[in-house]
Amino acid sequence: MDCYTANWNPLGDSAFYRKYELYSMDWDLKEELRDCLVAAAPYGGPIALLRNPWRKEKPASARPVLEIYSASGVPLASLLWKSGPVVSLGWSAEEELLCVQEDGVVLVYGLHGDFRRHFSMGNEVLQNRVLDARIFHTEFGSGVAILTGAHRFTLSANVGDLKLRRMPEVPGLQSAPSCWTTVCQDRVAHILLAVGPDLYLPRPFCLVFPLALPQTPPGLAPGVSSFLQMAVSFTYRHLALFTDTGYIWMGTASLKEKLCEFNCNIRAPPKQMVWCSRPRSKERAVVVAWERRLMVVGDAPESIQFVLDEDSYLVPELDGVRVFSRSTHEFLHEVPVASEEIFKIASMAPGALLLEAQKEYEKESQKADEYLREIQELGQLPQAVQQCIEAAGHEHWPDMQKSLLRAASFGKCFLDRFPPDSFVRMCQDLRVLNAIRDYHIGIPLTYSQYPQVLVLRRLYPLAIQICEYLRLPEVQGVSRILAHWACYKVQQKDVSDEDVARAINQKLGDTPGVSYSDIAARAYGCGRTELAIKLLEYEPRSGEQVPLLLKMKRSKLALSKAIESGDTDLVFTVLLHLKNELNRGDFFMTLRNQPMALSLYRQFCKHQELETLKDLYNQDDNHQELGSFHIRASYAAEERIEGRVAALQTAADAFYKAKNEFAAKATEDQMRLLRLQRRLEDELGGQFLDLSLHDTVTTLILSGQNKRAEQLARDFRIPDKRLWWLKLTALADLEDWEELEKFSKSKKSPIGYLPFVEICMKQHNKYEAKKYASRVGPEQKVKALLLVGDVAQAADVAIEHRNEAEMSLVLSHCTGSTDGATADKIQRARAQAQKK
């Protein structure tokens, strides 16, 4: 334990760097790494190798092999490369392998060597060929940047949503830049390139300087004639430049500020240069690799140097650098603060003391108490525990993790109310991390990466256990893993449809968040339509079932599913689909068997295709609706009277067929009226068409055509009562009082005479009203007299009738002084009545 810090190397005064072995690789590499295209995914991801046979010095003899290994060297896939020459390999953020071909076509493979898709980087790239390519990651996804033979750049910031951007030309760029990289500024990816002593950052959106202007990093040592290598940090914040004078400049990626510089006096161009820093640390360091030498340089006069025994390859990580070669896989990083505090020689940090105390306690030594007191006296026990927990997270070896956690647990015993969650959480995380760091899994994640990394590698059981262990909500964790498993399952072509469907349903059941339609879509994608249909049966959401069924041309099934859902929009969608797919007869037959769909389709036709609506009613022998249809048509479609009458005739015929005698007769009456109105217009002028029968008669009376009016009323058998009302109203409107009086005397009124009084009063003709008031029958006499304002006589009649209600009615009309006598009279009569 004393030599625990033996592999710590100081850089400057404040930081230590350490390198430790993750795995000894036992991949059986036939080739030297230097002969291969190499790509390793970040976050402990897989490694892809493609022996490069297209190099000029080694003409292709056999087809190359693309191999994919886990970080521990366990082979995951191996396939013969049958496509064109590859310029560059890289992993996307989703751990898909992107292979950039010379012709600008990018082939995408899954982790297990399964071909996913391909896309092209455009015509310009195709014509000029790819000279160099990089795969890079930003917050928007993984991008591809390409340098073409014409020294132009094309890039796409997100391969998931391919949008190609051609970068503007750099003036005077005759040959390829000495080095270049992608940077990300203001959330946009750019290319930074070096030509001779100048740096260029072409900005396609900059209107003022569409062409890039050369830039020089601030504080650059003189004498530089070209840049040999450049590196941006993981977060795109920092930039390092390696010059032909063996000088390294480190600063911000915006080229506005210099952080530090270092002169390593090696003029040979390095093979790789990457940043090595940890989040939230102030230290900045760059790792530079040559054939046999590895150097860590930072803001310090000295550098840390390692000797490389074999060809090595650097993989930048969020918090360090992975270095792998034929035989080993190592991790190089800055020692985290918590570890440094605890393990630094002669450290008096609370964590260090706590660790010491715990060790003494195990030895059953009283020193344990001394150490503990020392911490407690300073009141630093909570920090001590926290430090141990944190440091445990950064340790790679389980033994060390354990002893730190034991120390934390020991310290916790002496604290009241120390919240346990950070300790529990760390134990859980470490168990997970240790499990996946295991050689067989080979994912050397440093800290809290998430289980979906495992899913992509088809390590389903482990992933599920982890989710359950970490108590991730089902929808986020287990469901996703199971769905993934099912999608993999449907691709197993040697298993029968029934078996696959059953196996999937057994395992998934009603697991929340699992989309059977996604799985079915995958099955359909593999050409297994029947399986897809079987799987869709398990899908509870019709909204998901229907589109896929339509895509698979199972429209009738889709229709019944849509109807089941009650979602009318879905039904409509299927219907319109069916309409185009089937011939008219079949389509109608299908509708006939689905009443709900039929009524919806009728609705659609009512607004969109009237003719079809008619055909539908015809098919169903729905004569009643056909009748209504033609009635509507008589108004909408026809202008000429003949046309309208013809349409009405069709309607009447339909009503007869529907055994709706009343409607048929009414429609015939309407035809008769229409013809008549037409004739009236011709003979009398004026507007008659589309007046109701009632209004036609009224209009005739108003224009003095009493005879015609009578005739019309007779023809259409208008009931007497209504005719009297009609005439009364019309004559009063005309204020033809003479005619009205004549009319009232023509025979005994079937509606009585009160309406006469009322209507005269409405026209404010009291004189005429009074004429009729006397003829009003006894029951309504009081009302009539009151209407004409003859309160006194009304009172007399009411008293005569001995009617209490009438008397109070009259009383309520007695206003002011004039009616005072009348009121008294009534009161007296009332009193008399009560006496009796």
The residues of the shown chain that bind another protein, judged by CB under 8 A, are 474-475, 479, 510-513, 540-541, 564-570, 572-573, 576, 595-596, 599-600, 602-603, 607-608, 624, 628, 631-632, 634-636, 662-663, 666-667, 669-670, 673, 690-695, 716, 718-719, 721-722, 724-726, 729, 751
CB of 632 to another protein, least distance (A): 5
Nearer Cβ to another protein (195/570): 570
What's the token pair of residue 383? 């920090």
> Around Cβ 661, how many Cβ atoms within 10 Å?
10
Nearer Cβ to another protein (116/541): 541
CB of 681 to another protein, least distance (A): 17
Nearer Cβ to another protein (242/617): 617
Residue labelled with tokens 């760091």: 437
Nearer Cβ to another protein (368/536): 536
Nearer Cβ to another protein (87/673): 673
CB of 784 to another protein, least distance (A): 13
CB of 565 to another protein, least distance (A): 7
CB of 128 to another protein, least distance (A): 32
For residues 156 and 165, the answer to whether their CB atoms sit within 8 Å is yes
CB of 476 to another protein, least distance (A): 12
CB of 638 to another protein, least distance (A): 11
CB of 634 to another protein, least distance (A): 8
For residues 421 and 444, the answer to whether their CB atoms sit within 8 Å is no
* Residue 437 burial by Cβ neighbours in a 10 Å radius (0-12, 13-18, 19+): buried
141-171 as b/e, with b when 16 or more CB fall inside 10 Å? ebbbbbbbeebbbbbbbbbeeeebbebbebe
| Dist. CA 77–CA 457, nearest whole Å | 11
What's the token pair of residue 165? 């951007």
Nearer Cβ to another protein (106/597): 597
CB of 710 to another protein, least distance (A): 16
For residues 135 and 88, the answer to whether their CB atoms sit within 8 Å is yes
What is the sign, positive or negative, of the torsion defined by CA atoms of 375, 376, 377, 382?
A: positive
The string of DSSP letters for 685-739 reads: -S--TT--HHHHHHHHHHTT-HHHHHHHHHHTT--HHHHHHHHHHHHHHHT-HHH
- How big is the CA angle at 344 (ends 342 and 346), to the nearest 5 degrees? 100
Residue labelled with tokens 């059981």: 461
What's CA 59's distance to the chain center, in Å? 50
CB of 479 to another protein, least distance (A): 8
Nearer Cβ to another protein (344/722): 722
The residue length of the chain stands at 836
Task: Give me the residues paired with residue 275 across strands.
Answer: 286
Nearer Cβ to another protein (437/623): 623
- DSSP summary character for residue 582: S
Nearer Cβ to another protein (428/565): 565
Per DSSP bridges, beta strands 15-24 and 328-334 are: antiparallel
Nearer Cβ to another protein (81/716): 716
CB of 601 to another protein, least distance (A): 10
- DSSP summary character for residue 397: S
Which positions ≥6 away from 646 have C-beta within 8 Å?
Answer: 638
Nearer Cβ to another protein (68/571): 571
578-582 contacts: CB < 8 A, separation 24 or more? Answer: 581/553, 581/555, 582/555
- DSSP summary character for residue 508: H
What's the token pair of residue 726? 């009609």
